Amino acid sequence: MNMPAQKRFLVSTDLSMVPSIKTDVLVIGSGVAGLSAALAAAETSQVMLVTKSELAESASRYAQGGIAAALNDDDSVEMHVNDTLAAGQGICKKDAVGLLVSEGIERCRELIDWGTPFDREDGHIATTMEGAHSCRRILHADGDATGRAIVNTLMDKVRQHRNIRIQEGYFTIDLLHQENECFGALLQDRSYGRLLQVETGATVVATGGLGRLYRETTNPDVATGDGYAICFRAGAVLEDMEFVQFHPTTLYVAGAPRFLISESVRGEGAYLLNCRGERFMNKYAEQGELAPRDVVSRSILREMHETGSTHVFLDLRHLGEELTSRRFPNIKMICKDFNIDIDRELVPVRPAAHYMMGGVQTDLDAKTTVARLFAAGEVACTGVHGANRLASNSLLEGIVFGHRAGVNAVACAKESKARVMPVIKMLRSHAERVAPLDLDDTVMSLKSLTWRDLGVFRNEGQLENAMQTIARWAKYVMNEQFQHPRGYEVQNMLTLANVIAKAAYIRTESRGAHQRIDFPQTSKDWERHVALSIHDFESDEDSLF
């Protein structure tokens, strides 16, 4: 059973009273992809950069381990490509991977030239090892704060650029679209609820991930999947949405956020131990602690089940205080806040939702299936990650395809002709309800459902239950107009949970991060992609279309 699709912004009521502004290129999102897109587009055009929170708040900022690039003499583009393809388990698009790795070198050198404070050893850029890489190629900054360092570098340039207008605290309710063409967005001021229409020659969606759909996640509060949902409602294809990556090691302490313990910790030699104090990864993979993320996550959960424990442990005690202080100062500080001394005590960890390998289908130029609409970063599916993302390729994808999105959006905007803005259908006001919706309860219920039924292990019964349950909730949540963006976030979360469930239901095999316990084998017949658009839900008898 599928969720009623949302009818929110089709033709009906004129919003002519809503203020409207124009810009050449609209960029939605302020992670590394959005910032890179804005900088590239601003070289020749006027850009409006919109973010629903503060400019600095994005998943990119919390990326610890680093950014992968074949810069060392003992490395090569071919080796990096091969590692990426191996991690992706037959689903990667080879041309996209080749572009990612080759252009990634140029983009990383650009970051270096712009003053990004990457760590150095003997005057050279330092690199480290991470799981499933064949050599040390991970650039890092401030030990374990690479994302923050890169974001700060890009933000400084964005703030200084005279062609970029920054609009903080504006939530994108929906894209303005008609006949498979996008020509702007409808925004809402998070502080006052005021609406604003933005008319543009081209739009770049770079809104990051959707980890907040899950009870256990490393993602910040802003990662509610809004970009996927607005593109989906505009008619764009979502691809590979069954491939949700679960990071193996997040801090597991009552009252603590699910703080990411970077893969580079294991890259530097940390061990995984079960509750009996035994190393266990060699039972599951030849690479041990440096196996791909999907393998490590499943191994941890199996070990937890076998030992009846809620977590396992990371052991850094043998690494030495000098190394942990230099390489992992942020991790050390967070653990200390919860009275864990990583140099003398074991760190309790377990898997959590971390990254969406799928997303809005794009080509090598970041174009979606909707005219004048581009996507970049985690929200996009370029095909570089396949069924399981190689560690530290995410920041790389953001700067490479963010840059390409900005350049190509400018070319598109210059060719775009003026269009009459469409009329917009707004639904009934939340205030008309006799019994107000409890959105917090809806979100908590959804998070529990996704963690149980759309988690590391899935089966047909769980997926059917998820779709049926979401359909019931959607009947009273989806067809609603809200006074605050939180309501629209909940609608987006319901939309995406249903898409993930349907994609996972369709793929009757296990591959990479997608594990069907009723179809445990990997099938050669499934070396293909699951692509879904809103039109695939129109035949449902409950559909609102």
d(CA 529, CA 386): 9
Residues 6+ apart with CB under 8 A from 444: none
Residues 34 and 110 in one domain: yes
d(CA 76, CA 477): 51
Residues in the chain: 545
> What is the residue whose two structure tokens read 């019994």?
435
Of 293, 404, 458, 511, catalytic: 293
Q: What is the pLDDT of residue 449?
A: 97
From 318, 351, 384, the end of a domain falls on 351
Residues 399 and 495 in one domain: no
d(CA 396, CA 390): 11
Q: 314 pLDDT band (50/70/90 cuts)?
A: very high
pLDDT digits (tens, 9 = 90+) for 100-119: 999 999 999 999 999 999 99
Cα radius of gyration rounded to whole Å, the chain: 22
Residue 231 structure tokens: 């593109």
d(CA 120, CA 399): 21
**Total domains, the chain:** 3
Tell me the pLDDT of the chain averaged across its residues.
90
Q: Is 293 a catalytic residue?
A: yes
Residues 373 and 228 in one domain: yes
Q: What is the pTM of this model?
A: 0.92
Residue 34 pLDDT exceeds 80 = yes
Residues 68 and 198 in one domain: yes
What CATH number is given to the structural domain containing 255?
3.90.700.10
Q: Are 5 and 537 in contact (CB under 8 A)?
A: yes
- 143 bridge partner residues: none
pLDDT digits (tens, 9 = 90+) for 461-495: 999 999 999 999 988 888 777 778 898 999 999 99
Provide the 10 A C-beta neighbour count for residue 434: 4
Q: What is the pLDDT of residue 478?
A: 82
Residue 301 structure tokens: 């959960």
Residues 400 and 482 in one domain: no
Phi, psi angle pair for 442, to nearest 5°: -60, -45
d(CA 381, CA 361): 5
Residue 361 structure tokens: 């289908």
Q: Could you tell me if residue 373 is inside a domain? A: yes
Residues 6+ apart with CB under 8 A from 78: none
Q: 90 pLDDT band (50/70/90 cuts)?
A: very high
d(CA 54, CA 334): 23
Residues 256 and 223 in one domain: no
Residues 101 and 214 in one domain: yes
> What is the residue whose two structure tokens read 């593109």?
231
From 351, 384, 405, the end of a domain falls on 351
> What is the residue whose two structure tokens read 């629209």?
488
Residues 6+ apart with CB under 8 A from 135: 72, 74, 75, 79, 129
Single-letter amino acid code for the residue at 154: L
Q: Are 474 and 494 in contact (CB under 8 A)?
A: yes
- Residue 298 sits in which domain range? 249-351
Residues 390 and 465 in one domain: no
Q: How far apart are the first and last CA of the chain?
A: 16
